[in-house]
Amino acid sequence: MSAELGASVANVTACQGRTYSVDAILNASLRSSFTMLAPQEDAPSMTLADSHTEAADLRDGRRFMHAFEYSLRWLEINAEAIDRLNVYPVPDGDTGTNMVLTLRAAISEATDNPSNNVDVVAANLARGALLGARGNSGVILSQIIRGLAEGLDGHREVGIPEFSTALERAYQVGYKAVTNPVEGTILTVARDAGEAAQAAQTQVDSVEDLIAQVVDATRESVANTPNLLDVLAEAGVVDAGGQGLHVIYEGLLRSLRGEPLPETADVDRATDVFAVFADIHQGDEHGFCTEFVVHGTDLDADAMRTEFAKIGESLLVVGDASLVRVHIHTEQPGDAINTAMSYGELDQLKADNMDLQQARNFEGALAEASEPPPPANGVIAVASGDGLEEVFRSLGVDVVRGGQSMNPSAGELLEAIDRTPDDWAVVLPNNSNIYLTARQAAEQSEKNVHVIATRTLPQGFSAALAFNPADASEDNAEAMSEAAGDVTTLEVTQAVRDAVLDGNPVAEGEYMGLLDDKFVARGETPHPVIMQMLERVADDEPEALTIYVGQATPAAQASELASEISERYPDMDVQTVAGGQDHYDYIIAAE
């Protein structure tokens, strides 16, 4: 759950009245996330082309573009640390990643349409960000960039007053994009940046000095976010989106100062070390193809190879004392990841289901060069997992792949909207971190688009079932919204880090129970957690329970759970469906 949605976590209030200074927030635990990414005096460096040849300003379109290119690279370097600033330790902390993808799309659009006019470059950045926005943080960032473009409209060149006005306009547009703005988030940081620019514009001699004032203001603003949002204070983190925006503005400043970007790895050495991986995938058979890079000190690849050999097959461990790459095929990728974390920091982590990959490859070959068929109705749902997707398709719903840690862009949703056969569409985001993206896509469409505020997949299923093709789109939207509110969602996942939630400590690897997206239970195994949540909803006397089983959850285990629930609640109709979702062992709909 991203920090921008902190307002929805209303039960986390244990730290009211507590105040935090800048030094208290940027203490050892937070510094450990970022100092490893800061440039060292003796570290090798790399620069973008012409980084030392430009004057310290954003005067024309070329300089303006160069500064944002640098800012993207600086954000990419810091993205992993930003992702770790997650209120809930669930495996969907992707704020940094979403902001990178959004800014990357903005840069791509501006690169494809070059200009030496600042306003043209800014407008292209805004368009690219608009269609490439992913997740709430990406959507809000796209609106901030849009505000910058509006503030720079009509200016071929930019100086202190123009950029100050643009920064002010940036936060104003950002706030307008959110129905219920929450303080202590990226919006607050954007506003503090704009106000700092306005206050400083008559006191500085250059755009560089102006942005230096802005960066100081955003740094303090980010550190203050836990004082404004209790959920951040209890989790012991600052707002991830706010930190991402600070990094972007800091990137602009570093570019103007001609500061080099730090290397994250020795490219030549990494190329030699990782080249051997080219052939390893040819023998992929079963389980999860799991890969990651381990960064550490005094790493022993031979000893690591012996340890990982106990976990899976097709093992390859290569590297040196500071960087080791691991490839392994295993039925339990979590075991490999937990083992790797005992050696150092992980990077470039992925775990692909090879059986599903093969099936998709066959499907792709058969469908090559053909347009996707139009959906049977005008409903679009976001989902990931073969079983979950098949449920939606069986209801005549078009599916856009996405969900936890895999947010679709506004452009992808807009393409799906354009595919609908009529002049209207209904979108089911099924994730609170995709809702703003869906709204943004709807605003770009010429069709009449209704975005239903479904926060979970079971709400999406309930809404899809309520769709009646004989009714008008407005009537359907009303009925589907009402149906979505009639289902209760229970979810179980493992914590990806230690945290304190609602006064309760949660250890990394512990199972967490989320009831309608709120943390309510924890345990060492998933089934007791589910039973605790069921006790909370038993008074509502749900008649039916549908259990969507995650791809990493053994079928036998799911069957045991269904039997246990049926034994305790004999009047409840319990069904299991192979959902195939990542990250969540179980997603359960109670109706």
Cα angle: 577, vertex 431, 225; to 5 degrees: 140
Residue 562 lies in a domain: yes
Is 458 in the same domain as 519?
Answer: no
Is 230 in the same domain as 290?
Answer: no
Return d(Cα 273, Cα 571) in angstroms, integer. 59
Is 84 in the same domain as 150?
Answer: yes
Is 87 in the same domain as 229?
Answer: yes
Of 326, 379, 378, give the one whose Cα is nearest residue 348.
Answer: 326
Write the DSSP string, 279-333.
GGGGG--SSEEEEEEEE-SS--HHHHHHHHTTT-EEEEEEE-SSEEEEEEEES-H
Is 323 in the same domain as 297?
Answer: yes
Is 397 in the same domain as 429?
Answer: yes
* CB of 186 closer than 8 Å to CB of 220: no
* CB of 398 closer than 8 Å to CB of 379: yes
Total structural domains in the chain?
A: 4
Is 422 in the same domain as 319?
Answer: no
Return d(Cα 445, Cα 78) in angstroms, integer. 34
* CB of 515 closer than 8 Å to CB of 536: yes
Return d(Cα 84, Cα 66) in angstroms, integer. 28
Question: In degrees rounded to 5, what are phi and psi of residue 233?
Answer: -60, -45
Write the DSSP string, 433-488.
TTHHHHHHHHHH-SSEEEE----SHHHHHHHHHT--TTS-HHHHHHHHHHHHTT-E
Return d(Cα 86, Cα 501) in angstroms, integer. 12
Range of the domain at 518: 488-590
> pLDDT tens, 313-325?
756 565 567 766 6
The whole-number pLDDT of residue 39 equals 36
Query: 579: helix, coil or strand?
Result: coil
Residue 42 lies in a domain: no
Residue 33 lies in a domain: no
Residue 252 lies in a domain: yes
Structural domain ending residue among the three candidates 228, 262, 296: 262
The whole-number pLDDT of residue 208 equals 93
CATH number (domain holding residue 323):
3.30.70
Is 297 in the same domain as 254?
Answer: no
> pLDDT tens, 402-418?
876 678 888 889 998 98
Count how many Cα atoms sit within 13 Å of the Cα of residue 193 in the half-sphere of its side chain: 31
Cα angle: 42, vertex 44, 47; to 5 degrees: 125
Structure tokens belonging to residue 543? 């008649």
CATH number (domain holding residue 81):
1.25.40.340
Residue 365 lies in a domain: no
Structural domain ending residue among the three candidates 198, 229, 262: 262
* CB of 213 closer than 8 Å to CB of 205: no
Question: In degrees rounded to 5, what are phi and psi of residue 321?
Answer: -70, -20
The whole-number pLDDT of residue 432 equals 86
Is 288 in the same domain as 375?
Answer: no
* CB of 122 closer than 8 Å to CB of 64: yes
Return d(Cα 217, Cα 220) in angstroms, integer. 5
CATH number (domain holding residue 540):
3.30.1180
Structure tokens belonging to residue 587? 């997603």
Query: 501: helix, coil or strand?
Result: strand
The whole-number pLDDT of residue 371 equals 43
Residue 216 lies in a domain: yes
Return d(Cα 510, Cα 248) in angstroms, integer. 34
For the chain, give the longest Cα–Cα distance.
76
* CB of 444 closer than 8 Å to CB of 436: no
The whole-number pLDDT of residue 274 equals 32
Is 326 in the same domain as 471?
Answer: no
Structure tokens belonging to residue 38? 């800061």
Of 70, 80, 81, 55, give the one whose Cα is nearest residue 103.
Answer: 70
Residue 27 lies in a domain: no
The whole-number pLDDT of residue 587 equals 92
Of 576, 381, 377, give the one whose Cα is nearest residue 460.
Answer: 381
Placement of tokens 């202190």 in the chain: 160
Low-confidence ranges of the chain (pLDDT < 50): 1-55, 264-285, 357-375
Of 520, 464, 458, give the one whose Cα is nearest residue 487.
Answer: 458
Structure tokens belonging to residue 20? 């935090």
Is 155 in the same domain as 297?
Answer: no
Amino acid at 291: E
The whole-number pLDDT of residue 319 equals 55
Is 202 in the same domain as 110?
Answer: yes
Amino acid at 310: K
Structural domain ending residue among the three candidates 428, 456, 484: 484
Residue 7 lies in a domain: no
Residues 6+ apart with CB under 8 A from 212: 253
Query: 574: helix, coil or strand?
Result: strand
Of 389, 356, 377, give the one whose Cα is nearest residue 424.
Answer: 377
